[in-house]
């Protein structure tokens, strides 16, 4: 009995422990809890590695490079309008550029552009094939650009650029890169730029020529020389033999500077206003010949030895071509530019009113000779102007336009006023005819044009120009602004009222009466087509030129004795080119 009681007591004790002895009941495991545990177990990762150190900057960071290859064959036919001379020209020009740029920080960059510009077959070695085509002494490889630019100085949009650089302003009528030519143009100097949304303001100072050499091997081509270099002077029409002449002007030139203050006001995307000043200062030195040392500065009024030629150009330009590539947001586009020039040439000349040519005789002790000097003199001054207008309207893919340009000429080149506009450092290829027969000097140009955009098939353009002299007495000036004396009728002394024809063996030369002077220089019709092809740009152009009476009256000179007179004039001239450009 006792044993049975003990067994029952033990059973109830165990049952009570199971029922009352546990204070909480374990929660049932749900599938979510099990999944979380499994995920936690599976995500157990090894010990994390410490972050790797940042690698040091590489020399190639901020480094970019590019290249350009351009080949252009050209042909020119009968540019002197004379059927009796063979002045036909054809050649192939080639330009190669390679540039590198390093961006040290976002505000500090440096750029160098190497360029090789040459004519095919112009170097020694081409004829025999036994050496490379550049085996010669005249090398055509140079540095086109080499500058450092520091941007955003003092936390402002103020940039400083120093070194050899390309300057382009406005339509490049006065300051441009001249990239159409094989060589192009660069300037050595300093430029300070302010660039923000409403104004772009540039101040620059560049060196055009330097008279002093350094002491470590760099020499200059300017300044006083022991002897002059010579060059061959060939008459324009090819009827006379070439003669050797001294390169006196280049050797007399000393320090020269080209400076500018160019501002572009941007009130809106539909109007930009350019206001600018351009200054060109050239120093003319004494030569080292004994006679000129004495009389060149004091004895001859026309000499400017030891003096400065100072030319000031002031201008304004209005345009709505404010977008990249000189595009307009409106269908109607325009560009107007006007410039005036003042200053002195450095020459002191005989006054125009001194009809009696009042002179005094002086003695030169170095040469033991006498020479005459004018008692009266006046400074020769610049007084010129130029105007250009280009207006167009775009309908769909076609644009039609008209343009008018005038560069002042000089009716009397013997007085104290230089009235022929000075075209400075221009890029005129786009404005006065594709054949590049005239610059913005003593000219009036009226033109119409039409262009059509063919999309992936390129674009086509046609221009017609009618170009005349502004002043009949002045010369015809070529694309570089150099007078083409002997190529057209002119009268250097403004022979205004004389109506006689002096029949001599050589004619009246450059002193015709105004009544015998021609007005029209030429008419020109241009066709141009360019098309992109993969990584290339293909471009071709053709010009037909028709000479006017200013050229005809000179070629067929009726003031020459009738026995010597022949009909040599041929008004038709042509220009053509094919250009292939690869840029990458």
What is the Cα–Cα distance from 503 to 153, expressed in whole angstroms? 71
Specify which residues 426 forms β-bridges with: none
Q: Say yes or no to pLDDT of 5 above 50.
A: no
Report the distance separating Cα 332 and Cα 438, nearest Å.
28
Going by C-alpha positions, the residue among 333, 465, 468, 460 that lies closest to residue 401 is 333
Under 8 Å between Cβ of 272 and 320: yes
Predicted pLDDT of residue 297: 41
Average pLDDT, integer, range 414-428: 90
- Render pLDDT for 262-288 as a digit per residue (tens, 0 to 9): 999 999 999 999 999 999 998 876 554
Token duo for residue 288: 């080292």
- The pLDDT score that the predictor gives to residue 37 is 44
The model's pLDDT over 489-507, given as tens digits with 9 standing for 90+, comes to 888 766 655 555 555 544 5
How many of the other CB atoms lie within 10 Å of CB of 375? 11
More confident residue, 63 or 289: 63
Nearest to 84, CA basis, from 239, 242, 235? 239
pLDDT at 75: 96
What residues are paired with 349 via a beta bridge? 378
Q: What is the mean pLDDT of residues 28-43?
A: 48
Q: What is the pTM of this model?
A: 0.80
Q: Which two tokens stand for residue 86?
A: 């063979």
CA angle 78, 80, 82 (to 5 degrees): 75
How far, rounded to the nearest angstrom, does the alpha carbon of residue 109 sit from its chain's CA centroid? 23
Across 200-227, average pLDDT: 82
pLDDT at 139 over 80: no
Strands, E assignment, 375-468: 378-395, 398-407, 417-418, 443-453, 459-468
Residue the block writes with tokens 């002096």: 502
Query: pLDDT per residue over 333-349, tens digit each?
Result: 999 999 999 999 887 77
> Which of 122-131, 137-146, 264-273 is predicted with the least confidence, judged by mean pLDDT?
122-131
Q: Is the pLDDT of residue 11 over 60?
A: no
The tokens for 480 are 């570089």
| Lowest mean pLDDT across 3-7, 178-182, 560-564 | 3-7
In 3D space, the residue among 497, 494, 512, 521 whose CA is nearest the CA of residue 410 turns out to be 494
């Amino acid at each position: 009995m006792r044993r049975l009681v003990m067994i029952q007591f033990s059973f109830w004790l165990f049952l009570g422990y199971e029922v009352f002895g546990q204070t909480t009941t374990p929660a049932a495991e749900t599938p979510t809890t099990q999944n979380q545990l499994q995920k936690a177990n599976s995500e157990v990762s090894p010990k994390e590695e410490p972050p790797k150190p940042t690698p040091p900057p590489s020399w190639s960071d901020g480094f970019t490079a590019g290249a350009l290859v351009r080949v252009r064959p050209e042909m020119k036919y009968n540019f002197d309008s004379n059927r009796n001379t063979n002045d036909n020209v054809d050649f192939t020009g080639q330009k190669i550029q390679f540039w590198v740029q390093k961006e040290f920080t976002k505000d500090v960059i440096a750029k160098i552009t190497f360029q090789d510009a040459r004519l095919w077959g112009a170097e020694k070695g081409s004829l025999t094939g036994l050496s490379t085509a550049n085996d010669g002494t005249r090398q055509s490889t140079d540095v086109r650009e080499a500058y450092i630019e520091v941007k955003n100085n003092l936390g402002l949009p103020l940039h400083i650029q120093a070194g050899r650089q390309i300057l382009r302003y406005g339509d490049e009528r006065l300051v441009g890169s001249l990239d159409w030519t094989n060589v192009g143009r660069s300037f050595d100097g300093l430029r300070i730029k302010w660039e923000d949304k409403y104004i772009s303001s540039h101040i620059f100072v560049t060196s055009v020529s330097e008279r002093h050499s350094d002491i470590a091997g760099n020499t200059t081509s300017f300044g006083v020389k022991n002897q002059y270099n010579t060059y061959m002077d060939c008459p324009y029409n090819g009827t006379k033999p070439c003669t050797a002449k001294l390169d006196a002007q280049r050797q007399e030139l000393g320090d020269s500077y080209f400076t500018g203050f160019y501002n572009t006001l941007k009130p809106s995307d539909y109007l930009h206003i350019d206001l600018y000043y351009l200054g060109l200062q050239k120093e003319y030195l004494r030569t080292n010949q004994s006679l000129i040392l004495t009389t060149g500065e004091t004895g001859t009024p026309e000499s400017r030895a030891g003096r400065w030629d100072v030319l000031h150009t002031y201008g304004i330009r209005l345009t709505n071509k404010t977008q990249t590539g000189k595009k307009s947001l409106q269908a109607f586009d325009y560009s107007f530019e006007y410039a005036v020039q003042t200053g002195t040439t450095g020459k002191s000349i005989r006054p125009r009113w001194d009809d009696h040519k009042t002179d005094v005789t002086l003695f030169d002790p170095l040469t033991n000779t006498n020479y005459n000097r004018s008692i009266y003199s006046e400074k020769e001054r610049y007084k010129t102007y130029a105007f250009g207008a280009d207006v167009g309207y775009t309908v769909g893919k076609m644009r039609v336009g008209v343009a008018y340009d005038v560069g002042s000429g000089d009716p009397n080149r013997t007085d104290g006023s230089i009235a022929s506009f000075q075209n400075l450092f221009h890029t005129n290829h786009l404005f006065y005819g594709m054949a590049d027969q005239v610059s913005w000097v003593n000219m009036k140009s009226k033109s119409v044009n039409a262009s059509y955009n063919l999309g992936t098939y390129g674009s086509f353009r046609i221009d017609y120009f009618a170009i005349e002299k502004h002043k009949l007495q002045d010369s015809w000036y070529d694309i570089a602004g150099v007078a083409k004396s002997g190529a057209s009728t002119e009268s250097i002394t403004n022979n205004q009222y004389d109506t006689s024809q002096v029949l001599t063996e050589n004619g009246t030369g450059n002193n015709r009466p105004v009544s015998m002077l021609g007005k029209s220089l030429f008419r020109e019709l241009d066709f141009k087509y360019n098309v992109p092809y993969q990584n290339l740009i293909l471009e071709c152009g053709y010009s037909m030129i028709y000479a006017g009476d200013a050229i005809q009256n000179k070629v067929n000179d009726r003031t020459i004795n009738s026995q010597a007179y022949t009909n040599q004039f041929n008004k038709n001239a042509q220009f053509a080119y094919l250009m292939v450009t690869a840029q990458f």
